[in-house]
A and B are shown apart, each in its own frame.
Chain A
Amino acid sequence: MSEPVLSLKDFRVSFNTMNGTVRAVRGIDIDVERGEMVGIVGESGSGKSVTFLGMMGLLPRSATIEGSAVLDGTELVGMKPKQFMAVRGKKIAMIFQDPLSALNPVHKIGSQIVEMIRSHEKITKAAAARRAVELLDIVGIPQPDQRAVQYPHEFSGGMRQRVMIAMAIANEPDVLIADEPTTALDVTVQAQILEVLQRIQKDLNTSIVLITHDLGVVARVVDRVQVMYAGRAVERAQVDDLFGESSHPYTRGLLKSLPSQDKDRLVPIPGSPPNMLEPPPGCSFAPRCDFAVEACTQTLPELVPFGRGETACIRAGELVGMMDHV
C-alpha cells in the first residue's frame, strides 16, 4: 500500500464552553489505507466520534479544530463550509448510530437516494433512480425496486441502516466513516450489517473507519485497531495482535470487561475517565491504572513502536506477562 487515502496528523479538537476549554481530542494520528477497514475503539467520551465529526466539519462553531487531516491529497482542516459540502458524500461519507431517525420521514427511500446521487453527479432522474435500485440491491435489500418507493417507516432498523449505507456509498466515496453503525441493532442484524460493510470494502475497494465501543464487532471485521482513551490514542495494532497480546493496561481492562464463556465474572475498569477540562499532565489512564508509577503522571506518553504494534504505555516492556496474572 502506498499513500494512505486518509491521514490525520496531530489532529486536535477542543470546545470553548462556559466552564473553560474542553480538549476532547488531543493529538491523534490515523492513517487509513485504500480498501482497508480500521477500527476505532474506546468508551463513551473518549473522542472517537468527535475526531471524525470534526474532520468532516460537522461540529458546531464552538469547536476549534487543529492539526491536519488529508483526504486523498486534500487538506480538510480549515476548509470552507462550501468546499466541505462538495467533499462530504462524494469523497467521504458518514453513517450514524441510530438508523431509525437518520432518514427523512417524509420522502420515499428511493427519492432520498436519488437526491443524494444528483447532488454530486449530473445525471438524469431516471438514471439516478436506476442507480438507487442497484444500490439497494448491493446492500442486500430484497425486492429493491418495490422497496425504493416506500417510506422510511415501512423499514425495520436493520433495513434502514442498509439504506443509510446505500446512500453513503451512492457516489462511491473513498472513505466511509461508520459511527457505531450496529449499536442500535440487535445481534443478528449487527452481523448482517457488518457483512454488508465488509462486502462494500472488498467489492468497491472503499476504506472504512468503524467507530465502536464493541470489541466483539472489531474482532469480527476490521484489519487494524486504534484504541482511544481521553482524546488520545493509547494503542495501535493489527486486530489479532490486540486480542492476543495487548500492550496497554487500558486495552487489557477493556478485554477483561468483555463477557465470554470461560469467564465466571467480568472485571470492570475502576473509576471513570478524566475531566477533559483539565486532563492530567501525564498518562490520562494513570489514575485508574493498577500499574501506574510516579513516571506515568509526569509526561504525556506518545505512541511508540512496541512488538508488532504501537503503544502509549511507558511500562509496556515491563508489563508484558505481568498483566495476565492480575
Chain B
Amino acid sequence: MTEALTNIDPSLVVNPDGSSVRGDREGLTKSRLSPRQMAVKRYLHHKGAVVCTVIMAAMVLFVVLAPITARYGVNERIFDATADQPNSFLSPRAEAWLGTDAIGRDLYSRLIYGLRVSLVIGLFAACFATILGITAGSIAGFRGGRFDDILMRVTDIFLAFPFLVALLVVRNFLGEVSFLEPIVGEKTSLRFIIILFTIFGWMGVARLVRSQILALKEREFIEAARALGASNTRIISRHLIPNAIGPILVALTTAVVAAVIAESTLAFFGFGPDAGSGNTSLGNLVGDSKSAVQAGQWWLVLFPSGLLVLVAMCINFIGDGLRDATDPKLLQDGGN
C-alpha cells in the first residue's frame, strides 16, 4: 500500500504543512497504526518517561541479577576488621564503591538487595491493592445504591485516619491475633507488609475506578451492549474497565511509589520488614542512616535516600508517560 504513495509525484500529495493529502483518505494509501502502536508512539514521545524507563530497567536488571551485580553478600563484611584497619564507616573507596556501614558491610551491595525487597513489596502491594480497588470500585460504580454508599463511607474512613498511626495500629493488631498468623505471616515478613499495604492502598484506586465507571456507564455503547444481551459481569470486564485502563495504569504506578515510600517510612521507624535479621530494604537503609547524619558519614545518608528518590521519580515519570500513552486526545496524529 505504501508503494502507491511513492509512485506519485510528492508535490501532488503533500500539503503545505507537509502532511500527506492522500494518506488521509481512508484505507487507500497509508497503512495506519493500531491503537497499541499509537500508544507506544505517544509513550516514546515523552522523553522523561523514556529516560526513566531505561533507568528503571537497569535497576530492575541489577536487582534480578543480584548475585552477580552485588560485590558482597547482604550480610558479608568487606574484610575482617583488624586493629589498624577498621572496616566500619569507611568512606567510598575501591573495596567498597559506596562505603561501608557500622559493621563493615558494603553499602553498594546492600542497596541492591534492599532495592530488591522494596520493589517486591511495591509491585505486589500495588498490584493487589489495584485489583482490590478495581473490584470494589467497579461494583460500587456500576451497582450504585446501598453498596456504593457503604463502600464509599468505608473509603472515607480509611482516608480520614492519619495514615501512619492507622498503619501502626493495624500492624500491631494484625500481628497479635494468633489465629491470623498462618495467613498473614510474621509481623516482619514480606507477606505481612504486602497484606498491610494492600489493606491501606486500595481506596484511592477504588474511588478512581468508581468515578470512571460512573461516567462510562452512561455512555451509549453500554446501553447498546445491554440491548444486545451482555451480562453485568461482561459489561464491567469487557466494556467498562478496558475503557478506564489509562487512569488505572497511572494509579497503579503511583500505588507502587506509595508502597515503596510507605515501606521506607515504616522501616525508618523500625517497623519494617526483617528489621532484625539483616535482610534489608531501602527503608531499613534509610533508617540506619539516622545517626550517620550527625557523625558526618554522608555516604550512608546520600546513597540510600538518593536511590529512594530516584526510584520514586522514575516510577512517577513512567506513570506520566503511561497517561500520555493512554490518552488519545494528546498528540492526535500519533506523534508525527
Q: Which chain A residues have a beta carbon within 8 Å of chain B's beta carbons?
A: 56, 58, 85-90, 93-96, 98, 101-107, 115-116, 119-120, 151, 154, 164, 167-168, 170-171, 177
* B276 / chain A contacts, CB cutoff of 8 Å: none
In the assembly, what is the distance between CA of A170 and CA of B228, in Å? Answer: 10
Q: Is the CB of A101 within 8 A of B229?
A: no
B234 at the interface (CB under 8 A from A): yes
Is B94 engaged at the interface, CB distance under 8 Å to the other chain?
A: no
How far, in angstroms, from A268 to B220 measured CA to CA in the complex? 32
Closest-by-CB residue of A relative to B224 is A102
Q: How far is the CA of A308 from the CA of B242 in the complex (A)?
A: 53
* Neighbouring B residues of A101 by C-beta, 8 Å: 219-221
CB distance from A91 to the nearest CB of B (A): 9
Instruction: Report which residue of B27, B227, B234, B245 has the largest number of chain A beta carbons within 10 angstroms of its beta carbon.
Output: B227
Asked if B294 is at the interface (CB within 8 A of a chain A CB), the reply is no
Residue on A with the closest CB to B220? Answer: A101
In the complex, the answer to whether A88 meets B228 with C-beta atoms within 8 Å is yes
Chain A-chain B contacts (Cβ-Cβ < 8 Å), number: 73
The answer to whether B228 touches A116 (Cβ under 8 A) is yes
Which residues of B pack against A, CB within 8 Å? Answer: 26-27, 32, 34-35, 219-221, 223-231, 234, 238-239, 242-243, 245
Q: How far is the CA of A89 from the CA of B223 in the complex (A)?
A: 12
Also in contact, A119 and B230, with CB within 8 A (given A102-B221, A105-B243): yes
B238 in contact with A115 (CB, 8 Å): yes
Partner of B231, one of A102, A103, A119, A168: A119
| A168 touching B228 in the complex, CB below 8 Å, given contacts A58-B223, A98-B220, A106-B242 | yes
Residues of B within 8 A of A120 (CB): 229
Cα of A42 to Cα of B228 in the assembled complex, Å? 25
A-B contact pairs, 28 of them (CB 8 A): A58-B227, A85-B231, A88-B227, A89-B227, A90-B229, A93-B227, A93-B229, A94-B227, A95-B227, A96-B223, A101-B220, A101-B221, A102-B224, A104-B225, A104-B238, A104-B239, A105-B243, A106-B35, A115-B234, A115-B238, A116-B228, A116-B229, A116-B230, A119-B231, A120-B229, A154-B27, A170-B228, A177-B227
**How near does chain A come to B305, taking the closest CB pair, in angstroms?**
41
